Structure 1
Amino acid sequence: MAIRNTIRVTKTDSTFEREKLIRPIGFKGGYLTELWQTVSRLQSETGHHTVGLATQSVLYGDADLFAAYSEAGGNALMYALVERTLQLVRQTPFETPVQLLDAILPEVIREGIRITGKPDLNPNFIYNALISVDNAAWLLYAAENGLTQFDDLIPEPYRPALSHRNNKVAIMYQVPYGMPVEELRQAVRQGYFVMKIKTGYPGSQEEMVQKDMERLTEIHRAIGDAPTDQTASGKIVYTLDANARYERKETLLRYLDHAKSIGALDQIILIEEPLREENDEEVSDIGIPVAGDESVHDEASARRRLDQGYGALVLKGIAKTLSLSLKVAKLAHERGVPCLCADLTVNPILIDWHKNLAARLAPFPGIGMGLLETNGDMNYLHWNTLKGYHPVAGAPWTTAKNGVFELDNDFYHRSGGILTPSNHYESLFTYAC
């Protein structure tokens, strides 16, 4: 067994940058206009310091809280929880980031409820607030133990689940409510072949499903027959993401019946989190794999979804922490269930954190490679500037080609650049170390 150093954090700091979006992003019945990039700094008693990143998404974290506050107000509440979490980290020695998360999580939950005044605060809000801290903790863990590659970071119990080396990762191209059809056609011309369609339109359940069906018809008419050489069928494929907006399976089946009537059903390979978290209906009879996403907060909730017939689990290392994602990936591996990685419209550096996960998962069924959603390039107003903050900006594996990221030995050797400090984010802390 490897001997790990006990890490004691003595100094912390944080800041954030507000990044505007090209157009409002719609999901969960709401719309985002900006995303805060939160940056946390940890310094240990040995003098090592690291800077961790997060993209805050209050709408993803807790849609009810998002609706109850201004957009900036909701972000301010999450940032306040980041600050409180950093105080807890200074009080909590740890050997691994997984151990740190387990130790502080109960108090972070209590603090989240206190700060927001929301007794039923969604756990995803908590995890989103933990991202930059967890990110910095993994980097500090690497520095304290002399680890220089992502593979070395993964504690032994989680390595079998992340033992693959895909040479390609397919990109799930996000299709939000209001995206013009011509942009979809352009994406297909650029080689994208996995289209992630946002469902769950705002409104009542009846209004929602009607609009969802109309939108699928519009999309399928525009690109359904487009050819691709990346799938066995020669056709592009769809995944659906309702962000738990459907209250009952019956309503989802209406949508799928419509998909069949327009000839789109055979191209749907996955449905992400269609039903509300409290819904306990069996889904193995739907005929299309259903993936647990928002409702997966820990190993117990992941097991619950698998027991209900869910056929895949979504990893969100950039929304629910890498530490939790390792636990979920381990469980999925033990149950023989595939995983994919879904986005939170994160910045380019966090994409490569997530890409390191997707690269090492077993190839997704029907795709034959890793599966990763990334949509920052289509949503951030200053995306090219953000790309410039990446420590290895311009590396071939940071750029999409024909709908995939092509991963070579250099990607694996350099761990996608994530263990190399970013000059921009380091410069946000200008005091002497």
Structure 2
Amino acid sequence: MNRRNFVQNIGTIAAMTHLQPQQLFMPTPTDSPKTIRITRTASNFEREKLIRPFGFKGGFLTELWQAVALLESELGQQGIGLGTQSVLYGDADLFARHSEAGGNAFMYALTEKALQLSKEIPFTTPIDLIDKLLPQVMAEGQKITGKKDLNPNFVYNALISVDNAAWLLYAAENKVKNFDNLIPQDYRQALAYHNNKIAIMYQVPYGMPVEEIKKAAQQGYFVIKIKSGQPGTQSEMLQKDMDRLTQIHTALKDSPTSQTKNGKLIYTIDPNGRYEKKETLMRFLDHAKKIGAFNQILLIEEPLAESNEEEVADTGVIITADESIHDEKDALRRLEQGYKGMVLKGIAKTLSLSMKIARLAHQRQVPCFCADLTVNPILIDWNKNLAARLLPFPGLDMGMMETNGDMNYLNWKKMQTYHPAAGASWTQAKNGVFELNQEYYQRSGGILEPSTHYQQMFSASR
């Protein structure tokens, strides 16, 4: 698409959504990207303990491995990419079958295999690389884990650091200095907005004390993301989820906020696909109505099992698709079932896939937001760069993203020092939002700048 047509389309988007023109960004057209050939790879990882067991998908994590991948091209350019491993998110069944460290070892081994395979694949954009790697890495993942029905999300999660390194290598090879110009031409319309603020989805896992949730509201957080789908049978899960919603709503129902039009907090519910039937979900929503919480529920993330084909358009609330989206075909299937939003996880299912889903959602005028994977501070800003460029979520005058590392990592303050823009204003939550200024967009949140900490992990590997 030429620049004239791109500008015309941007104008159409602005008219349709009543956006201010200055909030839509038109990146400079870039030359055709170079063909990149990888000649050297390396990897490492760090184990980061969590403050308390972190519960979702019916299980609990106690630590998260931070995978680090290096890709070097034949021209000597490098990309050092990061990935946070979450086996419980990637394949809950695999997680339950093995020790926590054992599951992480499987995923790290798959990352190393993907790095080796990348040396055989010339590419122009990281999207091309991931498309070619995915079927091979899926086959290798099945061999490594011994699980023929390995969930694709496990494979995507193993590819995060590789994908991240590929984007940095792509930037170095093509002399790209900011995120706007990093986005390949075919995906720029979907990511052309510049939000001034991003609402932070404050995550509430199973075991979080109510006093901590109340404190978060007092600190200004106004989008409360409640993890449901608790351990147990379907009936036990439902009862626990209803009791938990009652507990949280009783504590927060009178908490005020200046960030919403009606002055009330917003709830989002995330069962992570634990509800086997729509009937169970509807009973949960009936309970929400009974206790007066329903009108504060903005959306429900991926409530039903991936295999569930029931229509959800009549639930009375926005249902968004997350785990079940492994490609554009899956996204279309969910839209046909009445799903009204898409969850983007550039830090869990690769930035490459997220750009594809963002483009599809933009074409269908379906809203998106970015969810977290309890990632490290640098990956938060990779996710933030994506969230910053999406159209404001309906019901909010801003973008929306989840981040929960600060409340879960034992060594969070030390991890923050690894960020090239540590201490910058856009890394700090203020009244429940990230405020994004001109410097943020100029520096792309610091993600394209080197991190001394991660560079030093490979200083002796040449």
Other-structure match for 2:357: 328
Q: Does 1:309 align with 2:338?
A: yes
> Cα distance, 1:432 vs. partner?
6.0
TM-score with structure 2 setting the length:
0.93
Equivalents in 1 of 2:407, 2:419: separation in Å? 18
- The residue number in structure 1 matching 2:308 is 279
How many residue pairs get aligned? The number is 433
Tell me, in whole angstroms, the C-alpha distance in 1 between the residues paired with 2:455 and 2:253: 45
Pick from 173, 177, 192: which aligns with 1:148? 177
User: Corresponding residue for 1:359?
Assistant: 388
Task: Write the mapping of 1:257-276 to structure 2, written as runs, cut at 5 A.
Answer: 257-276=286-305
Give a deviation string over 1:20-61, Cα, whole Å, max 9, x none: 000000000000000000000011100111100000000000
Q: TM-score normalised to the size of structure 1? A: 0.99
- Offset, 1:104: 1.2
Q: Which sections of structure 1, spanning at least 5 residues, go unmatched?
A: none
1:119 Cα deviation after fit: 0.4
Root-mean-square deviation (Å):
0.7
Alignment pair present for 1:59 and 2:88: yes
State the secondary structure of the residue aligned to 1:310.
Answer: coil
* Percent sequence identity over aligned pairs: 67
1:90 corresponds in structure 2 to 119
Mapped to 2, the partners of 1:176 and 1:267 lie a distance apart of 19
Structure 2 counterpart of 1:3: 32
Deviations 1:283-330 (CA, angstroms, capped at 9, x unpaired):
000010000000000000000000100000000000000000000000
Note the C-alpha offset of 1:78.
0.2
- 1:170 is the counterpart of 2:199: yes
How far 1:225 sits from its partner (Å)?
1.5
Q: 1:79 aligns with which of 80, 83, 108?
A: 108
After TM superposition, the runs of 4+ consecutive aligned structure 1 residues lying more than 6 A away are: none
**Aligned-pair CA distance for 1:430:** 2.1
Unaligned 5+ runs, structure 2: 1-29
Q: 2:227 aligns with which of 173, 198, 205?
A: 198
In structure 2, what is the Cα distance between the partners aligned to 1:159 and 1:318? Answer: 19
Equivalent runs, 1:209-248 vs 2, <5 Å: 209-248=238-277
After superposition, residues 387-406 of structure 1 pair within 5 angstroms as 387-406=416-435
Q: Give, in angstroms, the shift of residue 79 of structure 1.
A: 0.3
Partner of 2:317: 288
Structure 2 residue 274 is matched with structure 1 residue 249: no
Are 1:407 and 2:444 matched, yes or no? no
**Partner of 2:17 in structure 1?**
none
Q: 1:127 aligns with which of 133, 151, 156?
A: 156
Matched, 1:339 2:368: yes
Separation in 2, partners of 1:214, 1:274: 17
Counterpart of 2:35 in structure 1: which amino acid?
A: T
Partner of 2:188: 159
Question: 1:171-226: CA deviations, max 9, x gaps?
Answer: 00000001000001100010000000000010000000000000000000001110
Within a 5 Å distance, the mapping from 1:2-81 to structure 2 comes to 2-81=31-110
User: Could you say what secondary structure the match of 1:118 adopts?
Assistant: coil
Residue aligned with 2:332, SS: helix
What secondary structure is seen at the aligned counterpart in 2 of 1:111? helix
- What residue in structure 1 maps to residue 378 of structure 2? 349
> Residue 151 of structure 1: CA displacement?
0.4
Q: Structure 2: how far apart are the matches of 1:200 and 1:263? A: 20
Amino acid at match of 2:143: R
Give the C-alpha shift of residue 2 in structure 1.
Answer: 2.6
Query: In the alignment, does 2:413 pair up with 1:376?
Result: no
